[in-house]
């Protein structure tokens, strides 16, 4: 019987959506102009502020802070210098100090809307999102048409998952400024997060593009939205438009690469990723995507090198560690693969894909119970992940837990709809593998009728898989549906695979039908295709025995034994043929060899009528344990 199909593991895609456009007011560091007759202290204050501004322009930020601090000592209530100090502190990542300085500015000047706005930005940087929204609202209370504050408020609302409020904020911008294509773009990004509103997102991107046809960011985001609704060709068209507008934007090439890979166009995907890498050599996403495409092309060593480069650029990329594990697994280095997956899980413990992949390598190492434990962990995190159910079912098969295996494979068929299987090659592969494996489990349970139906379902998804037709034929044989079984095996002979196996199975079926010559012809066809296929040589020998051609049968058995000297069944069958020719010494020598290889043949020989001539022979009786 054809073997089970290999576990298919998901490869993680790591590409972020295009960053939303944010209009930020240019930060002008306030320079005070001295008046005639001003006191010396004021002149010193002005000089300190000017010194700080010069230091900022020279990127001498600590010196700038020192100068602003001197100015504050001279004029503690001056809001502008507190503002300038806060901006530098924010740039340096000293968010708490920056917020305190902005508060000093607004205490001195409560209607200082720029300070309220920048305080909101700093709070956003510090991940204090609710406080950031309040600060933006205060700026908008003072200046209701403050576009920059509206953009940043919308972005924070979107970030915290309040999509409706974010969309409302972008709509406010559009009302104030109908040609604000950035607002339409950001509205699209927010709407794209909601599956049922992605068509609205596409409409928003189209609005942005209608206002500014050269706005390549909207084309990229439109492409990403098409990917989310699985319209891959439309996505590629959008990326191509972005590339036409700005050929040097690496993100367009990288996103196009991932989408080409989704369509199974892996060579084209590698070319797109190479272009992205040419434009941005440190793009870890492009290197990672290139690795995925190379993996799909079977270029595992090259894929591994790409993942190593990804990790060099971004050591904490759990996706790259996961994919490195996949490449190692493809190369048969499963212990190293497990180590790579464990490194990935240190970075992101809740990655159900990585846990699934780790389970796959544990399976390959024969550690089935550990593999199932890993698969169960992934299922707990993502119950609708079809690959993990498929892999768990396969492990259960190996443990002989056939009913549990059937339940796991059924989960896959429930998760992936027939429509998805018809339109998405990756999903089709997962589903037909699950159905195929379910069929094999049902065969083990001797539920042959149901097995045939399941194999037919798998064939309806992908009709050119050699093993599906073989397995269907084998399930039909116990039902004595020989003509249908022959049809299945005949179909297999036209497909890519070990076609000689199909001819061998045809020979077996012809024997069952009593068509000995047709069976012999089928066996000869299999042997012609693979002369060292000892299984068929054994079957041919048995058939020749049944036809009374014992001498020819013995010659066939001898050919098989030259290929596989420890094939105990052939030694036994040869002994039977020799016994039927009354070649006692030869028969007992062959039988002795069979029993040495498998003591179970003692009882088989004792009850086999081919040895009836030796029933009272002392040597024979001693050999079979009498």
Which tens digits make up the pLDDT trace of 159-196? 999 999 999 999 999 999 999 999 999 999 999 999 99
The band of 23, judged by pLDDT with boundaries at 50, 70 and 90, is very low
Nearest by Cα to 590 from 549, 554, 553: 554
Cite the DSSP H helix spans in 75-214. Answer: 79-91, 95-108, 113-125, 129-142, 147-159, 163-176, 181-191, 198-211
157-165 contacts, C-beta under 8 A, 24 or more apart: 157/133, 158/20, 158/186, 158/189, 158/190, 158/193, 159/129, 160/129, 160/130, 163/190, 163/191, 163/193, 163/194
**What pLDDT does residue 484 have?**
98
DSSP states along 460-523: HH-TT-HHHHHHHHHHHGGGT-HHHHHHHHHHHTTSSS-HHHHHHHHHHHHHHTT-HHHHHHHH
The band of 42, judged by pLDDT with boundaries at 50, 70 and 90, is low
**What pLDDT does residue 16 have?**
32
| Cβ(456)–Cβ(469) below 8 Å | no
**What pLDDT does residue 343 have?**
97
**Separation of alpha carbons 149 and 118, rounded Å:** 9
C-alpha dist (Å) from residue 399 to 80, 225, 369, 374, 412: 74, 43, 8, 15, 20
Residue 6 reports pLDDT greater than 90: no
The band of 626, judged by pLDDT with boundaries at 50, 70 and 90, is low
Residue 513 reports pLDDT greater than 80: yes
334-343: average pLDDT: 97
Look at residue 61 and give its three-state secondary structure: helix
286-291: average pLDDT: 94
Q: Which of 11-15, 85-89, 544-548 has the lowest mean pLDDT?
A: 11-15
125-137: average pLDDT: 96
- String of b and e for 459-475 (b: at least 16 CB within 10 Å)? bebbeebbbbbbbbbbb
Alpha carbon 315 to its chain's center: 20
**What pLDDT does residue 59 have?**
93
The band of 115, judged by pLDDT with boundaries at 50, 70 and 90, is very high
Please, what sign has the CA dihedral across residues 607, 608, 612, 613?
A: negative
Query: What are phi and psi for residue 278, nearest 5 degrees?
Result: -60, -40
**Separation of alpha carbons 2 and 458, rounded Å:** 15
DSSP states along 517-580: HHHHHHHHHHHHH-TT-HHHHHHHHHHHHHTT-HHHHHHHHHHHHHH-TT-HHHHHHHHHHHHH
The band of 126, judged by pLDDT with boundaries at 50, 70 and 90, is very high
91-109 pLDDT, tens digit per residue, is 999 999 999 999 999 999 9
Output the CA torsion 12→18→20→26 (10° steps).
Answer: 120
**Separation of alpha carbons 396 and 122, rounded Å:** 53
| Cβ(394)–Cβ(430) below 8 Å | no
Residue 37 reports pLDDT greater than 50: no
**What pLDDT does residue 334 have?**
97
Tokens read off for 369: 């119970």
The band of 625, judged by pLDDT with boundaries at 50, 70 and 90, is confident
Residue 351 reports pLDDT greater than 80: yes
Residue 31 reports pLDDT greater than 50: no
**Separation of alpha carbons 85 and 32, rounded Å:** 15
**What pLDDT does residue 3 have?**
27
The band of 423, judged by pLDDT with boundaries at 50, 70 and 90, is confident
The band of 243, judged by pLDDT with boundaries at 50, 70 and 90, is very high
300-313: average pLDDT: 96
**What pLDDT does residue 181 have?**
94
Residue 7 reports pLDDT greater than 90: no
134-154 pLDDT, tens digit per residue, is 999 999 999 999 999 999 999
How confident is the prediction for the chain on average, in pLDDT? 91
42-50: average pLDDT: 84
**What pLDDT does residue 402 have?**
97
The band of 616, judged by pLDDT with boundaries at 50, 70 and 90, is confident
**What pLDDT does residue 332 have?**
95
Residue 29 reports pLDDT greater than 50: no
Domains of the chain: 40-349 (1.25.40.10), 533-626 (1.25.40.10)
**What pLDDT does residue 463 have?**
94
**Separation of alpha carbons 249 and 195, rounded Å:** 28
**What pLDDT does residue 615 have?**
84
pTM comes to 0.64
DSSP states along 218-276: HHHHHHHHHHHTT-HHHHHHHHHHHHHH-TT-HHHHHHHHHHHHHTT-HHHHHHHHHHH
């Amino acid at each position: 019987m054809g073997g089970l199909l290999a576990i298919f593991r998901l490869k993680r895609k790591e590409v972020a959506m295009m960053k939303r456009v944010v209009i930020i007011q240019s930060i002008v560091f306030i320079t005070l102009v001295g008046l005639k007759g001003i006191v010396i202290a004021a002149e010193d204050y002005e000089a300190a502020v000017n010194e700080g501004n010069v230091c900022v322009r020279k990127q001498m930020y600590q010196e700038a802070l020192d100068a602003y601090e001197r100015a504050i000592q001279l004029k503690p209530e001056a809001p502008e210098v507190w503002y300038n100090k806060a901006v530098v502190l924010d740039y340096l990542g000293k968010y708490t100090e920056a917020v305190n300085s902005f508060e000093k500015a607004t205490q001195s000047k409560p209607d200082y809307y720029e300070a309220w706005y920048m305080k909101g930005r700093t709070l956003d940087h510090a991940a204090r999102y609710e406080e950031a929204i309040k600060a933006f609202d205060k700026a908008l209370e003072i200046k209701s048409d403050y576009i920059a504050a509206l953009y940043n408020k919308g972005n924070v609302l979107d970030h915290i998952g309040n999509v409706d409020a974010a969309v409302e904020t972008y709509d406010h911008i559009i009302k104030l400024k109908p040609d604000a294509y950035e607002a339409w773009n950001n509205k699209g990004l927010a709407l794209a997060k909601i599956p049922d509103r992605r068509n609205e997102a596409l409409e928003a991107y189209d609005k942005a593009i209608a206002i500014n046809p050269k706005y390549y960011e909207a084309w990229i985001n439109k492409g990403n939205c098409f990917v989310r609704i699985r319209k891959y060709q439309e996505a590629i068209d959008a990326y191509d438009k972005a590339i036409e507008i700005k050929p040097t934007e690496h993100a367009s090439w990288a996103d196009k690469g991932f989408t080409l890979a989704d369509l199974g166009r892996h060579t084209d995907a590698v070319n797109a990723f190479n272009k992205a890498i040419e434009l941005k050599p440190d793009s870890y996403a492009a290197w990672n995507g290139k690795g995925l495409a190379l993996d799909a092309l079977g270029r595992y060593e090259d894929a591994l090198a790409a993942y190593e480069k990804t990790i060099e650029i971004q050591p904490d990329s759990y996706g790259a560690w996961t994919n490195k594990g996949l490449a190692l697994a493809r190369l048969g280095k499963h212990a190293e693969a497990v180590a790579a997956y464990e490194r990935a899980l240190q970075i992101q413990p809740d990655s159900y894909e990585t846990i699934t992949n780790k389970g796959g390598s544990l399976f390959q190492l024969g550690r089935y119970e550990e593999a199932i434990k890993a698969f169960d962990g992934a299922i707990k995190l993502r119950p609708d992940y079809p690959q993990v159910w498929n892999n768990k079912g396969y492990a259960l098969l190996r443990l002989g837990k056939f009913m549990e295996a059937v339940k796991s494979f059924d989960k896959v068929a429930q998760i992936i709809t027939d429509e998805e299987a018809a339109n998405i090659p990756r999903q089709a592969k997962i589903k037909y593998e699950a159905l195929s494996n379910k069929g094999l489990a049902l065969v083990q349970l001797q539920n042959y009728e149901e097995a045939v139906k399941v194999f037919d379902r798998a064939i309806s998804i992908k009709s050119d898989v050699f093993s599906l037709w073989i397995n269907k034929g084998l399930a039909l044989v116990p039902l004595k549906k020989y003509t249908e079984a022959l049809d299945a095996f005949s179909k297999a002979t036209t497909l890519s695979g070990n076609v000689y196996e199909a001819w061998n199975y045809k020979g077996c079926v012809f024997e069952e039908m009593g068509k000995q010559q047709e069976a012999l012809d089928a066996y000869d066809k299999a042997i012609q295709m693979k002369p060292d296929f000892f299984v068929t040589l054994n079957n041919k020998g048995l058939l020749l025995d049944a036809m009374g051609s014992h001498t020819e049968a013995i010659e066939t058995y001898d050919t098989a034994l030259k290929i596989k000297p420890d094939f105990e069944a052939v030694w036994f069958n040869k002994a039977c043929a020799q016994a039927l020719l009354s070649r006692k010494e030869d028969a007992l020598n062959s039988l002795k060899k069979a029993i040495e290889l498998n003591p179970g043949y003692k009882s088989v020989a004792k009850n086999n009528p081919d040895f009836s001539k030796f029933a009272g022979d002392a040597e024979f009786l001693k050999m079979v344990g009498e």
